[in-house]
Amino acid sequence: MSTVKIPPVLRQAAGGERTVEAKGANVGEVLTALCEAHPAIGKQILTSDGELHKFVNVYVNDEDARLMQWTDTPVGDDDTLLILPAMAGGQ
Amino acid sequence: MSPSYQDLIAAAREVIPEVEPADVAPRVAAGDGPLIIDVRETAEWDQGHLPGAVHIPRGFLESRIGGTAPDSDQEILVSCASGQRSLLSAQTLHDMGFTNVTNLAGGFARWKQNNHPVEIPRILTAGQRSRYSRHILIPEVGEEGQMKLLDSKALLIGAGGLGSPAAYYLAAAGIGTIGIVDDDEVDESNLQRQIIHTTDRVGMNKGESAKQAIAALNPEVQVNVHPFRVNRDNVLDLVSQYDVIVDGADNFPTRYLLADASLMTNTPLVHASILRFEGHASVFTPYDGPCYRCLFPEPPPPDLAPSCGEAGVLGVLCGVMGNIQATEAIKVLLGIGDTLSGRLLIYDALGMTFTELKVRRDPDCPSCGPNADLQLRDYEAWCAGVGSHDHAGASA
Ligand SMILES: [Zn+2]
Protein backbone atom coordinates (compact mmCIF):
# COMPACT_ATOMS: atom_id res chain seq x y z
CA MET A 1 0.00 0.00 0.00
CA SER A 2 1.30 3.45 -0.87
CA THR A 3 0.45 6.57 1.07
CA VAL A 4 -1.41 9.28 -0.80
CA LYS A 5 -1.32 12.78 0.65
CA ILE A 6 -4.59 14.59 0.11
CA PRO A 7 -4.50 18.38 -0.43
CA PRO A 8 -6.83 20.56 1.71
CA VAL A 9 -9.33 21.09 -1.14
CA LEU A 10 -9.87 17.33 -1.58
CA ARG A 11 -10.03 16.35 2.08
CA GLN A 12 -13.76 16.56 2.30
CA ALA A 13 -13.98 14.22 -0.68
CA ALA A 14 -11.63 11.85 1.17
CA GLY A 15 -13.81 11.75 4.27
CA GLY A 16 -11.71 14.38 5.99
CA GLU A 17 -8.51 12.33 5.83
CA ARG A 18 -5.13 13.99 5.24
CA THR A 19 -3.54 10.76 4.02
CA VAL A 20 -5.10 7.71 2.43
CA GLU A 21 -3.55 4.29 1.83
CA ALA A 22 -4.09 2.91 -1.68
CA LYS A 23 -2.89 -0.15 -3.56
CA GLY A 24 -1.23 -0.19 -6.97
CA ALA A 25 2.03 -0.89 -8.76
CA ASN A 26 2.14 2.44 -10.55
CA VAL A 27 0.76 5.98 -10.28
CA GLY A 28 -2.27 5.18 -12.46
CA GLU A 29 -3.23 2.12 -10.40
CA VAL A 30 -2.84 3.91 -7.09
CA LEU A 31 -4.99 6.81 -8.28
CA THR A 32 -7.61 4.41 -9.66
CA ALA A 33 -7.75 2.62 -6.29
CA LEU A 34 -8.01 5.99 -4.54
CA CYS A 35 -10.86 7.15 -6.77
CA GLU A 36 -12.69 3.83 -6.33
CA ALA A 37 -12.48 4.18 -2.55
CA HIS A 38 -13.40 7.87 -2.70
CA PRO A 39 -15.46 8.51 -5.83
CA ALA A 40 -15.84 12.18 -4.88
CA ILE A 41 -12.11 12.62 -5.46
CA GLY A 42 -12.38 11.09 -8.90
CA LYS A 43 -15.06 13.59 -9.85
CA GLN A 44 -12.65 16.42 -9.04
CA ILE A 45 -9.38 15.20 -10.53
CA LEU A 46 -10.42 13.01 -13.48
CA THR A 47 -11.88 14.06 -16.82
CA SER A 48 -14.96 12.30 -18.19
CA ASP A 49 -12.53 10.08 -20.11
CA GLY A 50 -10.90 9.01 -16.87
CA GLU A 51 -7.71 10.98 -17.55
CA LEU A 52 -6.09 13.17 -14.92
CA HIS A 53 -6.87 16.85 -15.35
CA LYS A 54 -3.94 18.98 -16.45
CA PHE A 55 -4.28 21.16 -13.36
CA VAL A 56 -3.49 18.22 -11.09
CA ASN A 57 0.17 17.68 -10.32
CA VAL A 58 1.15 14.30 -8.91
CA TYR A 59 4.45 13.77 -7.13
CA VAL A 60 6.05 10.47 -6.25
CA ASN A 61 8.03 11.39 -3.16
CA ASP A 62 9.56 14.70 -4.27
CA GLU A 63 9.57 14.15 -8.04
CA ASP A 64 6.92 15.26 -10.52
CA ALA A 65 5.37 12.09 -11.98
CA ARG A 66 4.78 13.90 -15.29
CA LEU A 67 8.56 14.19 -15.69
CA MET A 68 8.98 10.47 -15.03
CA GLN A 69 6.63 8.00 -16.71
CA TRP A 70 3.49 9.82 -15.65
CA THR A 71 0.75 7.31 -14.76
CA ASP A 72 3.09 4.41 -15.58
CA THR A 73 5.64 5.55 -13.01
CA PRO A 74 6.22 2.57 -10.70
CA VAL A 75 5.22 3.03 -7.06
CA GLY A 76 6.42 0.92 -4.15
CA ASP A 77 4.97 0.40 -0.69
CA ASP A 78 7.32 2.95 0.85
CA ASP A 79 6.50 5.65 -1.68
CA THR A 80 4.34 8.63 -0.96
CA LEU A 81 2.10 10.09 -3.62
CA LEU A 82 1.15 13.70 -3.35
CA ILE A 83 -1.76 15.22 -5.24
CA LEU A 84 -1.13 18.90 -5.72
CA PRO A 85 -3.46 21.36 -7.37
CA ALA A 86 -2.31 25.01 -7.33
CA MET A 87 -3.62 27.21 -4.55
CA ALA A 88 -4.45 30.86 -5.19
CA GLY A 89 -5.06 32.19 -1.68
CA GLY A 90 -2.92 34.96 -0.31
CA GLN A 91 -5.15 37.37 1.51
CA MET B 1 71.69 61.90 15.28
CA SER B 2 68.65 60.08 13.93
CA PRO B 3 66.85 61.79 11.03
CA SER B 4 64.05 64.29 11.78
CA TYR B 5 60.67 64.31 10.07
CA GLN B 6 61.99 67.00 7.71
CA ASP B 7 64.97 64.79 6.86
CA LEU B 8 62.69 61.83 6.10
CA ILE B 9 60.51 63.96 3.81
CA ALA B 10 63.53 65.38 2.03
CA ALA B 11 65.04 61.94 1.54
CA ALA B 12 61.79 60.56 0.16
CA ARG B 13 61.52 63.44 -2.34
CA GLU B 14 64.87 62.36 -3.77
CA VAL B 15 63.44 58.94 -4.59
CA ILE B 16 59.72 59.37 -5.24
CA PRO B 17 58.56 61.42 -8.25
CA GLU B 18 55.64 63.78 -7.61
CA VAL B 19 52.68 64.09 -9.95
CA GLU B 20 50.53 67.22 -10.19
CA PRO B 21 46.74 66.64 -10.01
CA ALA B 22 46.28 68.38 -13.38
CA ASP B 23 48.68 65.93 -15.05
CA VAL B 24 47.02 62.75 -13.85
CA ALA B 25 43.36 63.91 -13.75
CA PRO B 26 42.71 63.28 -17.49
CA ARG B 27 44.01 59.72 -17.16
CA VAL B 28 41.87 59.13 -14.07
CA ALA B 29 38.85 60.53 -15.90
CA ALA B 30 39.51 58.26 -18.89
CA GLY B 31 39.81 55.26 -16.60
CA ASP B 32 43.42 54.43 -17.50
CA GLY B 33 45.14 56.08 -14.57
CA PRO B 34 47.51 54.43 -12.13
CA LEU B 35 46.36 52.40 -9.15
CA ILE B 36 45.58 55.10 -6.58
CA ILE B 37 46.21 54.20 -2.95
CA ASP B 38 44.72 56.64 -0.43
CA VAL B 39 46.53 56.29 2.90
CA ARG B 40 44.42 58.69 5.00
CA GLU B 41 42.36 57.71 8.02
CA THR B 42 38.81 56.42 7.58
CA ALA B 43 37.14 59.64 8.77
CA GLU B 44 39.07 61.60 6.11
CA TRP B 45 38.33 59.04 3.39
CA ASP B 46 34.61 59.18 4.21
CA GLN B 47 34.60 62.89 3.31
CA GLY B 48 35.59 62.11 -0.27
CA HIS B 49 38.48 60.76 -2.35
CA LEU B 50 39.86 60.49 -5.87
CA PRO B 51 37.61 58.50 -8.20
CA GLY B 52 38.52 54.82 -8.20
CA ALA B 53 41.02 55.17 -5.35
CA VAL B 54 41.61 52.26 -2.97
CA HIS B 55 41.64 53.05 0.72
CA ILE B 56 44.49 51.60 2.78
CA PRO B 57 45.14 53.59 5.97
CA ARG B 58 48.85 54.14 6.39
CA GLY B 59 49.02 51.86 9.40
CA PHE B 60 47.86 48.92 7.25
CA LEU B 61 49.93 49.74 4.18
CA GLU B 62 52.58 47.04 4.49
CA SER B 63 50.11 44.28 5.38
CA ARG B 64 47.46 45.08 2.79
CA ILE B 65 49.31 46.36 -0.28
CA GLY B 66 50.06 42.84 -1.50
CA GLY B 67 46.37 42.04 -1.77
CA THR B 68 45.69 45.21 -3.75
CA ALA B 69 48.83 45.38 -5.90
CA PRO B 70 50.21 41.89 -6.48
CA ASP B 71 52.53 43.14 -9.25
CA SER B 72 55.57 45.10 -8.03
CA ASP B 73 55.99 46.78 -11.46
CA GLN B 74 52.48 48.18 -11.29
CA GLU B 75 52.11 51.95 -11.57
CA ILE B 76 50.97 53.22 -8.19
CA LEU B 77 49.99 56.77 -7.20
CA VAL B 78 49.81 57.35 -3.46
CA SER B 79 47.63 60.11 -2.09
CA CYS B 80 46.81 61.62 1.31
CA ALA B 81 45.47 64.98 2.50
CA SER B 82 48.40 67.25 1.57
CA GLY B 83 51.03 64.97 0.06
CA GLN B 84 53.32 64.25 3.03
CA ARG B 85 51.95 61.06 4.59
CA SER B 86 51.59 59.75 1.05
CA LEU B 87 55.21 60.63 0.30
CA LEU B 88 56.42 58.59 3.26
CA SER B 89 54.03 55.79 2.31
CA ALA B 90 55.39 55.83 -1.23
CA GLN B 91 58.88 55.55 0.21
CA THR B 92 57.72 52.50 2.17
CA LEU B 93 56.32 50.90 -1.01
CA HIS B 94 59.57 51.71 -2.79
CA ASP B 95 61.50 50.02 0.03
CA MET B 96 59.17 47.01 -0.29
CA GLY B 97 60.27 46.60 -3.89
CA PHE B 98 57.58 48.48 -5.81
CA THR B 99 59.39 50.08 -8.71
CA ASN B 100 56.83 52.47 -10.19
CA VAL B 101 55.50 54.53 -7.29
CA THR B 102 54.59 58.23 -7.48
CA ASN B 103 53.16 60.72 -5.03
CA LEU B 104 50.19 63.02 -5.60
CA ALA B 105 51.54 66.56 -5.14
CA GLY B 106 49.44 68.59 -2.71
CA GLY B 107 47.30 65.52 -1.97
CA PHE B 108 43.52 65.40 -1.98
CA ALA B 109 43.38 69.07 -0.87
CA ARG B 110 45.01 70.33 -4.08
CA TRP B 111 43.05 67.82 -6.18
CA LYS B 112 39.82 69.21 -4.78
CA GLN B 113 41.00 72.84 -5.02
CA ASN B 114 41.63 72.33 -8.72
CA ASN B 115 38.03 71.11 -9.08
CA HIS B 116 38.86 67.60 -10.23
CA PRO B 117 36.04 65.12 -9.68
CA VAL B 118 35.64 63.65 -6.21
CA GLU B 119 33.95 60.45 -5.13
CA ILE B 120 32.14 60.46 -1.80
CA PRO B 121 31.84 56.93 -0.43
CA ARG B 122 28.40 55.76 0.65
CA ILE B 123 28.38 55.08 4.32
CA LEU B 124 25.71 54.22 6.82
CA THR B 125 24.73 57.01 9.17
CA ALA B 126 25.25 56.52 12.90
CA GLY B 127 21.51 55.94 13.20
CA GLN B 128 21.56 53.29 10.49
CA ARG B 129 24.59 51.57 12.02
CA SER B 130 22.67 51.30 15.26
CA ARG B 131 19.31 50.26 13.76
CA TYR B 132 20.80 47.60 11.52
CA SER B 133 23.64 46.51 13.84
CA ARG B 134 22.39 42.92 14.09
CA HIS B 135 22.42 42.67 10.29
CA ILE B 136 25.84 44.28 10.03
CA LEU B 137 27.25 41.67 12.41
CA ILE B 138 26.29 38.87 9.99
CA PRO B 139 29.19 38.25 7.60
CA GLU B 140 26.80 37.48 4.71
CA VAL B 141 25.12 40.87 5.12
CA GLY B 142 27.53 43.36 6.67
CA GLU B 143 27.52 47.10 5.94
CA GLU B 144 27.72 46.49 2.23
CA GLY B 145 24.71 44.17 2.26
CA GLN B 146 22.75 46.57 4.41
CA MET B 147 23.46 49.35 1.92
CA LYS B 148 22.25 47.05 -0.83
CA LEU B 149 18.99 46.52 1.05
CA LEU B 150 18.64 50.27 1.57
CA ASP B 151 18.99 50.72 -2.20
CA SER B 152 16.52 47.90 -2.98
CA LYS B 153 12.93 48.11 -4.11
CA ALA B 154 10.39 45.40 -3.37
CA LEU B 155 6.89 45.25 -4.80
CA LEU B 156 4.26 43.58 -2.64
CA ILE B 157 1.15 42.37 -4.40
CA GLY B 158 -1.45 42.71 -1.70
CA ALA B 159 -1.19 43.94 1.88
CA GLY B 160 -3.26 41.01 3.09
CA GLY B 161 -2.46 37.75 4.83
CA LEU B 162 0.93 37.25 3.17
CA GLY B 163 1.71 40.90 2.46
CA SER B 164 1.21 42.03 6.06
CA PRO B 165 4.03 40.09 7.72
CA ALA B 166 6.23 40.40 4.62
CA ALA B 167 5.82 44.19 4.60
CA TYR B 168 6.62 44.42 8.30
CA TYR B 169 9.84 42.43 8.11
CA LEU B 170 11.01 43.91 4.82
CA ALA B 171 10.48 47.38 6.28
CA ALA B 172 12.29 46.44 9.48
CA ALA B 173 15.15 45.07 7.38
CA GLY B 174 15.57 48.46 5.74
CA ILE B 175 14.42 47.67 2.22
CA GLY B 176 14.65 51.21 0.86
CA THR B 177 11.47 51.25 -1.17
CA ILE B 178 8.39 49.10 -0.68
CA GLY B 179 5.56 49.30 -3.19
CA ILE B 180 2.17 48.00 -2.10
CA VAL B 181 -0.50 47.19 -4.67
CA ASP B 182 -3.92 46.80 -3.11
CA ASP B 183 -7.27 48.29 -4.08
CA ASP B 184 -9.00 46.80 -1.05
CA GLU B 185 -9.96 48.40 2.23
CA VAL B 186 -9.25 47.08 5.70
CA ASP B 187 -12.16 45.01 7.00
CA GLU B 188 -12.71 43.74 10.53
CA SER B 189 -12.52 40.15 9.27
CA ASN B 190 -8.95 40.82 8.04
CA LEU B 191 -7.53 41.54 11.47
CA GLN B 192 -7.31 37.87 12.55
CA ARG B 193 -4.26 37.58 10.25
CA GLN B 194 -3.47 40.82 8.39
CA ILE B 195 -1.41 42.13 11.26
CA ILE B 196 -0.13 45.30 9.61
CA HIS B 197 -3.61 46.81 9.92
CA THR B 198 -5.35 47.94 13.09
CA THR B 199 -8.89 48.13 14.38
CA ASP B 200 -8.95 51.92 14.10
CA ARG B 201 -7.92 51.74 10.43
CA VAL B 202 -10.90 49.61 9.32
CA GLY B 203 -12.21 51.17 6.12
CA MET B 204 -8.85 52.62 5.06
CA ASN B 205 -7.09 51.50 1.87
CA LYS B 206 -4.79 48.62 2.83
CA GLY B 207 -1.75 50.21 1.20
CA GLU B 208 -2.32 53.44 3.12
CA SER B 209 -2.84 51.52 6.34
CA ALA B 210 0.37 49.53 5.78
CA LYS B 211 2.20 52.77 5.01
CA GLN B 212 1.24 54.12 8.44
CA ALA B 213 2.43 50.98 10.20
CA ILE B 214 5.72 51.03 8.29
CA ALA B 215 6.27 54.73 9.02
CA ALA B 216 5.94 53.98 12.74
CA LEU B 217 8.34 51.03 12.54
CA ASN B 218 10.97 52.45 10.17
CA PRO B 219 10.38 55.99 8.93
CA GLU B 220 13.34 55.68 6.56
CA VAL B 221 11.46 53.32 4.23
CA GLN B 222 9.85 54.91 1.20
CA VAL B 223 6.38 53.36 0.76
CA ASN B 224 4.68 53.68 -2.61
CA VAL B 225 0.96 53.05 -2.31
CA HIS B 226 -0.60 51.72 -5.52
CA PRO B 227 -4.32 51.71 -4.71
CA PHE B 228 -5.51 49.75 -7.72
CA ARG B 229 -5.63 46.20 -9.04
CA VAL B 230 -2.66 45.05 -11.03
CA ASN B 231 -3.75 44.29 -14.59
CA ARG B 232 -2.18 43.75 -17.96
CA ASP B 233 -2.25 47.46 -18.78
CA ASN B 234 -0.28 48.55 -15.72
CA VAL B 235 1.74 45.49 -14.71
CA LEU B 236 4.89 46.00 -16.80
CA ASP B 237 5.22 49.65 -15.89
CA LEU B 238 4.74 48.80 -12.24
CA VAL B 239 6.98 45.75 -12.00
CA SER B 240 9.86 47.33 -13.90
CA GLN B 241 10.23 49.91 -11.10
CA TYR B 242 11.16 47.19 -8.61
CA ASP B 243 13.90 44.61 -8.00
CA VAL B 244 11.73 41.79 -6.68
CA ILE B 245 8.02 40.88 -6.63
CA VAL B 246 6.45 39.36 -3.52
CA ASP B 247 3.27 37.67 -4.71
CA GLY B 248 0.53 37.65 -2.10
CA ALA B 249 -2.36 37.77 -4.56
CA ASP B 250 -5.58 35.92 -3.87
CA ASN B 251 -6.61 34.80 -7.34
CA PHE B 252 -5.21 32.87 -10.30
CA PRO B 253 -5.54 35.52 -13.02
CA THR B 254 -3.30 37.86 -11.00
CA ARG B 255 -0.82 35.10 -10.22
CA TYR B 256 -0.44 34.06 -13.89
CA LEU B 257 -0.26 37.73 -14.91
CA LEU B 258 2.57 38.34 -12.42
CA ALA B 259 4.36 35.18 -13.53
CA ASP B 260 4.47 36.41 -17.13
CA ALA B 261 5.34 39.99 -16.14
CA SER B 262 8.19 38.63 -14.02
CA LEU B 263 9.60 36.92 -17.13
CA MET B 264 9.04 39.91 -19.41
CA THR B 265 10.79 42.31 -17.05
CA ASN B 266 13.33 39.80 -15.74
CA THR B 267 12.23 40.43 -12.17
CA PRO B 268 12.44 37.57 -9.64
CA LEU B 269 9.08 36.46 -8.26
CA VAL B 270 8.77 35.25 -4.67
CA HIS B 271 5.69 33.08 -4.48
CA ALA B 272 3.49 31.89 -1.64
CA SER B 273 -0.10 30.74 -1.41
CA ILE B 274 -2.17 29.69 1.57
CA LEU B 275 -5.33 27.84 2.48
CA ARG B 276 -6.61 26.63 5.85
CA PHE B 277 -3.53 25.00 7.46
CA GLU B 278 -1.38 24.68 4.35
CA GLY B 279 1.07 26.95 2.59
CA HIS B 280 3.14 26.75 -0.60
CA ALA B 281 6.27 28.80 -1.25
CA SER B 282 8.79 29.03 -4.06
CA VAL B 283 11.00 31.47 -5.93
CA PHE B 284 10.77 31.88 -9.69
CA THR B 285 13.98 33.30 -11.13
CA PRO B 286 13.34 34.30 -14.77
CA TYR B 287 14.99 31.96 -17.27
CA ASP B 288 17.34 30.63 -14.60
CA GLY B 289 14.90 28.38 -12.77
CA PRO B 290 11.38 27.18 -13.49
CA CYS B 291 8.54 29.71 -13.71
CA TYR B 292 5.10 29.51 -12.09
CA ARG B 293 3.69 27.98 -15.26
CA CYS B 294 6.38 25.30 -15.38
CA LEU B 295 5.02 24.26 -11.99
CA PHE B 296 1.32 24.82 -12.60
CA PRO B 297 0.58 24.89 -16.35
CA GLU B 298 -3.10 25.56 -15.66
CA PRO B 299 -5.21 26.77 -12.76
CA PRO B 300 -7.78 24.42 -11.23
CA PRO B 301 -11.49 25.18 -11.69
CA PRO B 302 -13.01 27.53 -9.08
CA ASP B 303 -14.50 24.75 -6.89
CA LEU B 304 -11.03 23.25 -6.48
CA ALA B 305 -9.44 26.61 -5.81
CA PRO B 306 -11.39 28.33 -3.08
CA SER B 307 -10.06 31.61 -1.73
CA CYS B 308 -9.27 32.09 1.95
CA GLY B 309 -12.49 34.11 2.10
CA GLU B 310 -14.41 31.03 0.99
CA ALA B 311 -12.53 28.22 2.71
CA GLY B 312 -10.79 29.94 5.60
CA VAL B 313 -7.18 30.20 6.67
CA LEU B 314 -5.38 29.87 9.98
CA GLY B 315 -4.22 33.39 10.83
CA VAL B 316 -0.74 32.46 11.99
CA LEU B 317 -0.14 30.41 8.81
CA CYS B 318 0.03 33.75 7.00
CA GLY B 319 2.81 34.84 9.34
CA VAL B 320 4.92 31.76 8.58
CA MET B 321 4.42 31.93 4.82
CA GLY B 322 4.68 35.72 4.51
CA ASN B 323 7.92 35.64 6.45
CA ILE B 324 9.29 32.85 4.28
CA GLN B 325 8.61 35.23 1.39
CA ALA B 326 10.36 38.09 3.19
CA THR B 327 13.34 35.83 3.88
CA GLU B 328 13.57 34.77 0.24
CA ALA B 329 13.15 38.35 -1.01
CA ILE B 330 16.05 39.51 1.18
CA LYS B 331 18.24 36.63 -0.06
CA VAL B 332 17.35 37.44 -3.66
CA LEU B 333 18.19 41.12 -3.13
CA LEU B 334 21.50 40.32 -1.42
CA GLY B 335 22.37 37.46 -3.77
CA ILE B 336 23.17 35.14 -0.86
CA GLY B 337 22.33 31.57 0.09
CA ASP B 338 20.15 29.09 -1.78
CA THR B 339 16.69 30.36 -2.59
CA LEU B 340 13.62 28.20 -3.15
CA SER B 341 14.21 28.46 -6.90
CA GLY B 342 13.58 24.97 -8.31
CA ARG B 343 11.82 23.84 -5.14
CA LEU B 344 8.27 24.05 -3.85
CA LEU B 345 8.09 24.18 -0.08
CA ILE B 346 4.86 22.90 1.42
CA TYR B 347 4.12 23.73 5.03
CA ASP B 348 1.40 21.74 6.76
CA ALA B 349 0.64 23.45 10.05
CA LEU B 350 -1.65 20.65 11.25
CA GLY B 351 1.05 18.02 10.93
CA MET B 352 3.81 20.62 11.52
CA THR B 353 5.71 19.28 8.55
CA PHE B 354 7.73 20.95 5.83
CA THR B 355 7.84 19.02 2.55
CA GLU B 356 10.01 19.94 -0.41
CA LEU B 357 9.19 19.05 -4.00
CA LYS B 358 11.51 19.42 -6.95
CA VAL B 359 10.32 21.85 -9.61
CA ARG B 360 11.99 21.70 -12.98
CA ARG B 361 11.91 23.95 -16.00
CA ASP B 362 9.44 22.65 -18.53
CA PRO B 363 11.12 22.68 -21.96
CA ASP B 364 7.66 23.13 -23.50
CA CYS B 365 6.59 25.82 -21.04
CA PRO B 366 4.27 28.23 -22.88
CA SER B 367 5.66 31.11 -20.79
CA CYS B 368 9.41 30.52 -20.40
CA GLY B 369 10.20 27.72 -22.86
CA PRO B 370 12.40 28.34 -25.91
CA ASN B 371 9.38 28.35 -28.20
CA ALA B 372 7.18 30.44 -25.94
CA ASP B 373 5.38 33.35 -27.54
CA LEU B 374 5.11 35.34 -24.36
CA GLN B 375 2.66 38.20 -24.31
CA LEU B 376 0.23 39.49 -21.76
CA ARG B 377 -3.33 38.39 -22.37
CA ASP B 378 -6.76 38.26 -20.82
CA TYR B 379 -5.93 36.13 -17.78
CA GLU B 380 -9.45 36.32 -16.37
CA ALA B 381 -10.88 34.79 -19.52
CA TRP B 382 -8.08 32.25 -19.79
CA CYS B 383 -8.43 31.07 -16.17
CA ALA B 384 -12.22 30.87 -16.52
CA GLY B 385 -11.84 29.02 -19.82
CA VAL B 386 -9.41 26.33 -18.71
CA GLY B 387 -11.28 25.83 -15.46
CA SER B 388 -14.82 25.71 -16.76
CA HIS B 389 -14.95 22.64 -18.96
CA ASP B 390 -13.78 19.09 -19.14
CA HIS B 391 -10.57 19.72 -20.93
CA ALA B 392 -8.46 16.63 -21.33
CA GLY B 393 -6.71 18.21 -24.28
CA ALA B 394 -7.20 21.88 -23.53
CA SER B 395 -4.15 24.06 -23.55
CA ALA B 396 -3.23 27.70 -23.63
ZN1 LIG C 1 8.06 28.17 -17.40
In a domain, B138, yes or no: no
| CATH at residue B285 | 3.40.50.720
Shared domain check, B72 and B183? no
pLDDT in the model for residue B393:
36
Cβ contact (<8 Å) for B296 and A86? yes
Is B35 inside any structural domain? yes
Handedness of CA B171, B177, B182, B185 (dihedral sign): positive
The complex's ipTM works out to: 0.95
pLDDT for the residue B387: 54
CATH classification at residue B35: 3.40.250.10
- Chain A residues with CB under 8 Å of B305 CB are 9, 85-88
In this structure, the answer to whether residues B350 and B213 fall within a common structural domain is yes
Which pLDDT tens digit goes with each residue over B130-178? 999 999 999 999 999 999 999 999 999 999 999 999 999 999 999 999 9
**B200-239 pLDDT per residue, tens:** 999 999 999 999 999 999 999 999 999 999 999 999 999 9
Look at residue B143 and tell me if it is in a domain: no
B165 and B115, same structural domain?
no
- Return the active site residues of B: 308
Whole-angstrom distance, CA of residue A10 vs CA of residue A35:
11
Is residue B42 domain-shared with residue B106, that is, in the same domain?
A: yes
Residues B99, B173 within the same domain:
no
Number of domains in chain B: 2
The nearest alpha carbon in chain B to A89 belongs to B250
Nearest to B307 among A59, A62, A89 (CB): A89
**A88 and B273: CB-CB below 8 Å?**
yes
**Span B3-20, pLDDT tens digits:** 999 999 999 999 999 999
Q: Does B171 lie in the same domain as B266?
A: yes
Q: Do B360 and A67 touch (CB under 8 A)?
A: yes
B142 in any annotated domain:
no
What pTM was computed for the model? 0.81
Name all contacts of A25-29 with Cβ < 8 Å and 24+ positions apart: A25/A74, A25/A75, A26/A69, A26/A71, A26/A72, A26/A73, A26/A74, A26/A75, A27/A58, A27/A60, A27/A65, A27/A70, A27/A71, A27/A72, A27/A73, A27/A75, A27/A81, A28/A71, A28/A72, A29/A75
Same domain as B279, residue B201: yes
pLDDT tens digit sequence for B55-113:
999 999 999 999 999 999 999 999 999 999 999 999 999 999 999 999 999 999 999 99
The domains located in chain A, with CATH, are 2-85 (3.10.20.30)
Express each pLDDT in A11-63 by its tens digit. Answer: 999 999 999 999 999 999 999 999 999 999 999 999 988 899 989 999 999 99
For B13, residues 6+ apart whose C-beta sits below 8 A from its C-beta are B87
Which range of residues forms the domain containing residue B62?
5-121
Q: Identify whether the C-beta of residue B48 lies closer than 8 Å to the C-beta of residue B116.
A: no
